[in-house]
Amino acid sequence: MRQALWLVVGLVVGLAVGALLGGAATPGGGAAATVTHTATTTVREVVTQTAASLVSALEEALRNGTYWDRCVLCGMVINDTKYTALVVLKGGYAVRTDDIGCIFRMALLPPEKWNALQRYQAEDVKRLIQVEKVFVPDFHTGEYVEAQRAFYVIRQDMKTPMGDCVFPFKDRETAAKMNATVYTYDQMLQLYREVMQKTGMPRPNWCRGGMGGMHSHGG
């Protein structure tokens, strides 16, 4: 896109210089000054319009908050922020997921394979979707903690939007009160990896009865 922008700028500048030289050849210095001013204004307008038009569809979606209201992984509308993970991208954008389980799918799948992003150009996805940090909300307090420092439990009798039934906590002791089996981030990621090895996709659907009754992941 930058190459295209500079190409346009080069063409406009060339036209402007040509106009300037043509104006300088005409009688009267005022004509050359007028041509110079007009050419400069034209260059500025074209560069501004071209730069705006070269913003990719994905970057525009990140700017306008599309993936603040929708899961950046699956594209589903976020209805309950109690299960919402916060994802900070290296470009400075912040996006969210609709289920804690989505952060483990994100870790195992390249962004080009995230359902929500398959509509965009692969080069734009690779350029713009680079995860810097992931934060998850403590299930009891809602306080956000870095995902890799949180502790996780699985409760199959408590459904979540995507059917993962995974709940994060900021400390192990509190997590153990909800389920005696407590997982670290790496241990939970390994569970998802094993599911992926068996089924081809990291979608465990641990909740009893399947999905949480709200969403469904595509292939």
Which structural domain range is residue 165 located in?
A: 58-199
The answer to whether residues 45 and 73 belong to one domain is no
pLDDT tens sequence across 133-192? 999 999 999 999 999 999 999 999 999 999 999 999 999 999 999 999 999 999 999 999
Instruction: Please answer whether residues 167 and 139 qualify as being in contact, where contact means their C-beta atoms are separated by less than 8 angstroms.
Output: yes
Separation of alpha carbons 76 and 69, rounded Å: 9
Whether the CB-CB separation of 111 and 125 falls below 8 Å is answered with: yes
**What tokens were used for 182?**
């407590």
Q: Are residues 99 and 8 in the same domain?
A: no
Total domains in the fold of the chain: 2
Classify residue 32: in a domain, yes or no.
Answer: yes
Sequential pLDDT tens for the chain (219 residues): 444 444 433 434 444 444 444 554 445 555 555 544 544 444 344 333 434 446 899 999 999 999 999 999 999 999 999 999 999 999 999 999 999 999 999 999 999 999 999 999 999 999 999 999 999 999 999 999 999 999 999 999 999 999 999 999 999 999 999 999 999 999 999 999 999 999 999 999 899 865 544 444 433
pTM of the full predicted structure?
Answer: 0.73
* Residue 71 shares a structural domain with residue 148: yes
Residue 213 lies in a domain: no
Same domain, 82 and 167: yes
Tell me, yes or no, whether 207 lies in a domain.
Answer: no
């909740």: which residue's tokens? 207
Could you tell me which of 98, 119, 33 has the C-alpha nearest to residue 87? 98
In 59-217, DSSP assigns E strands to 86-89, 94-96, 131-137, 144-146, 151-154, 166-169, 183-184
How far, in Å, are 4, 6, 33, 84, 135 from residue 17 at the CA level? Answer: 20, 16, 12, 55, 53
Same domain (yes/no): 84, 141: yes
In a domain, 211, yes or no: no
- 152 shares a domain with 44: no
